[in-house]
Amino acid sequence: MKIACLGVLVATTAVGGAAWADGPRMLKGPYLQDLAPRSITVMWHLDHAAPADITVEGPGGERVFHAAAARIGEATIDRLTPASRYRYRVDIAGQSYRGEFATAPEVGADVPFSFVVMGDTRSDVDSHRRVVERMAQTVPDFVVGTGDMVDDGYRQDQWQQFFDVEAHLLRDNVYFPSVGNHDRQGRGRTADSYRAFFSVPDNGGDTERYYAFSYAAVRFLVLDSNEYSFALSDQTAWLERELIAARQDRSVRHIFAVMHHPPFSISLHGGARDLRERWTPLFEKYQISAVFSGHDHVYERAEHNGIRYFVSGGGGAPLYPRAPDPNPVDLAAVKKFERVFHFLRVTVAGARVEVTGVRTDGSVIETTVWSDVPSTVLPDAPRLVASAADRAGTTSTRAGASAAPSAAAPAGAAAGGDAPAALVPPPEPAGGSLVWIGLGGVGLLLAAAVVVVRTLRR
Ligand SMILES: [Fe+2]
């Protein structure tokens, strides 16, 4: 039996070897990008250019898409059915690579879903692999990266390492990346490799370095928080335009921001002051639900003026300690800190958001739960107030120690920011005030007339 199998293996290898000698070799993928209700993008990377056929099977039958010869191939599959499962196959020079995916629900659909967040995978392959293997067990709807996938964006061997470890996860799950400081390259801090390997929605002002996407009733804003980007782009203006648009859209129940650098952290890098000055006030003004960052290689949860900030930088890079002397602003904001390899599992169901930090052994760091009440702004007149007391929703946190990510965590220390809050009622329109002033004036005049008549009668 063993010998027979060996014979088959040898024969297969011989055939495969002959095919690779002439054909291209698959370096990365296929992997999934740019998830939407009716489209998705399949990508792959070959050692030399070749055409590809992508066959998609699902609702509506089977369709074949042809991609022209390229080393980094990309095919956008369109006319799909929302919230549906598909199988796909990429055929290149006689070799087939198979995967599957599920399309996003209709934008605005109030359906529950979950996604995972990880970041700072960088250099430690074994730790990175353990995080990915644990993450794959949660069967997420998609994956969000908080940046620093590699140690040096110029090093192609490191990008290869990242995709090798992530291969199975990203074959069947769409990955939404954010660009970290290490993902860039050269003195110009360009993001050439990042831009070549990923295909994200092209709706940011600086192509692909920042972008927005929707999944069900959530709007995601993925930002480039690198210092250089502030000078190179009008990202802040774009961010505010996106926030206003989201708040004017009644189908958007939650807004999440994703960016590499954290505004608040008590680890080695600490919170980014420029982000606190430029973007945190906008997050507060438009009442976003949460911010997901990396950069410091730890798990952290912070709250500041009612906004929740999570640091998830424990994807494989060397773990960081607590800073010896944190900034008082960071110290006041951070409610939970743990130096641990981990990822976040985020579940959204209606108004409820649940964020669980999961260690590589499956145990839970903590689970944070809150509800966001629907809120909108009037056209051309943003009126949401940005203070803790005005923040909608409540937060509760359970310290975690369960053996499995799906198990309920026991009750633990209460988190900061537990006080219930409500939206400030909108100011009464000026027209309404004038009406009341007018009625009051008429009343006073009538009263005065009565007094005059009575006086005259006397
Ligand atoms: Fe970083």
CATH code: domain of residue 20: 2.60.40.10
Q: 262 CA distance to ligand 1 centroid (A)?
A: 10
**343 alpha carbon to ligand 1 midpoint, in Å?**
16
Residues 149 and 266 in one domain: yes
How many A from CA of 183 to the centre of ligand 1?
Answer: 8
Closest to 390 measured CA to CA, from 428, 427, 422 = 422
Q: Are residues 154 and 72 in the same domain?
A: no
Enumerate residues 6+ apart whose C-beta is below 8 A from 31.
42, 43, 44, 163, 166, 167, 170, 171, 175
End-to-end CA distance of the chain: 126
Instruction: Read off the pLDDT band of 205 (50, 70, 90).
Output: confident
209 Cα to the center of ligand 1, angstroms: 15
Centre of ligand 1 to C-alpha 238, Å, is: 23
- Which two tokens mark 213? 């996407």
CA of 440 to the centre of ligand 1 (A): 63
Say if residue 290's pLDDT is above 60.
yes
Helices (H), 137-209: 156-172, 192-197
User: Is residue 354 one of the residues assigned to a domain?
Assistant: yes
- What CA–CA distances, in Å, run from 452 to 350, 441, 443, 456? 63, 16, 14, 6
* Residue 118 and residue 97 in one domain: no
Is 336 among the domain residues? yes
- Phi/psi at 403 (nearest 5 deg)? -80, -25
Does residue 418 belong to any structural domain of this protein? Answer: no
The residue that leads in pLDDT, 405 or 165, is: 165
Residues 264 and 165 in one domain: yes
Residues 41 and 83 in one domain: yes
Among 46, 89, 43, smallest CA distance to 64 is for 89
- Confirm whether 458 is domain-assigned: no
Which has more pLDDT, 397 or 93? 93
Q: How many CB atoms lie within 10 A of CB 117?
A: 27
Ramachandran angles phi, psi of 349, nearest 5°: -140, 100
- Both 51 and 184 in one domain: the answer is no
Q: How confident is the model at residue 424 (pLDDT cuts 50, 70, 90)?
A: very low
CA 339 / ligand 1 centre spacing (Å): 16
- From the CA of 378, how far away is ligand 1's center (Å)? 38
Q: Which of 399, 414, 438 finishes a domain?
A: 399
With 0-12 / 13-18 / 19 or more C-beta atoms within 10 angstroms meaning exposed / middle / buried, residue 420 is: exposed
- Ligand 1 centre to CA of 67 (Å) is 35
- 432 part of a folded domain: no
Dist. CA 220 → ligand 1 center (Å): 21
What gap in Å lies between CA 257 and CA 210, rounded to an integer? 11
Neighbours of 121 (CB within 10 A): 31
Residue 1 lies in a domain: no
Per 3-state DSSP, the chain is made up of helix, strand and coil in percentages (nearest 5) of 30, 30, 40
Distance (Å) from CA 264 to ligand 1 centroid: 14
For residue 74, the enclosing domain spans: 15-102
The verdict on 252 and 145 lying in the same domain is yes
The Cα–Cα gap between 271 and 303 comes to 12
Evaluate if residue 384 carries a pLDDT over 50. no
Q: Is the pLDDT of residue 142 over 50?
A: yes
Ligand 1 center to residue 178 CA distance, Å? 11
The Å distance, Cα 227 to ligand 1 centre, comes to 11
Comparing 43-47, 62-66, 312-316, 412-416, which segment has the lowest mean pLDDT?
A: 412-416
Phi-psi sector, 276: left (phi>0), alpha (psi -120 to 50), beta:
alpha
Q: Domain check: are 216 and 356 in the same one?
A: yes
> 76, 102, 128 — which closes off a domain?
102
Q: Is the dihedral of CA 168, 169, 173, 179 positive or negative?
A: negative
Q: Residue 149: pLDDT above 80? A: yes
Any domain includes 442: no
Domain co-membership, 208 together with 279: yes
- Strands 61-77 and 85-92 come out as unpaired
| 151-182 b/e (C-beta count within 10 Å ≥ 16 → b) | bbbeeeebbebbbebbeebbbbbbbbbbbbbb
Name the pLDDT band for 389 (thresholds 50, 70, 90).
very low
CA of 334 to the centre of ligand 1 (A): 19
User: Structure tokens of 302?
Assistant: 């912070």
148 CA distance to ligand 1 middle (Å): 5
What percent of the chain has a predicted confidence (pLDDT) above 90? 69
How many domains is the chain built from?
2
Q: What percentage of the chain exceeds 70 in pLDDT?
A: 75
Q: Residue ranges of the alpha helices (H) in 279-326?
A: 280-285
Per-residue pLDDT of 160-203, as tens digits, reads: 999 999 999 999 999 999 999 999 887 667 888 999 999 999 99
Nearest of 141, 142, 145 to residue 122 by alpha carbon: 145
Residue 96 sits at φ, ψ, to 5 deg, of -115, 140
Rounded CA gap, 227 and 246, in Å? 26
In a domain, 334, yes or no: yes
CA of 120 to the centre of ligand 1 (A): 7
- Cα 271 to ligand 1 centroid, rounded to whole Å: 12
Give me ligand 1 centre to Cα 55, in Å: 38
DSSP code at position 267: B
Task: Report whether pLDDT(233) > 50.
Answer: yes
pLDDT at 60: 87
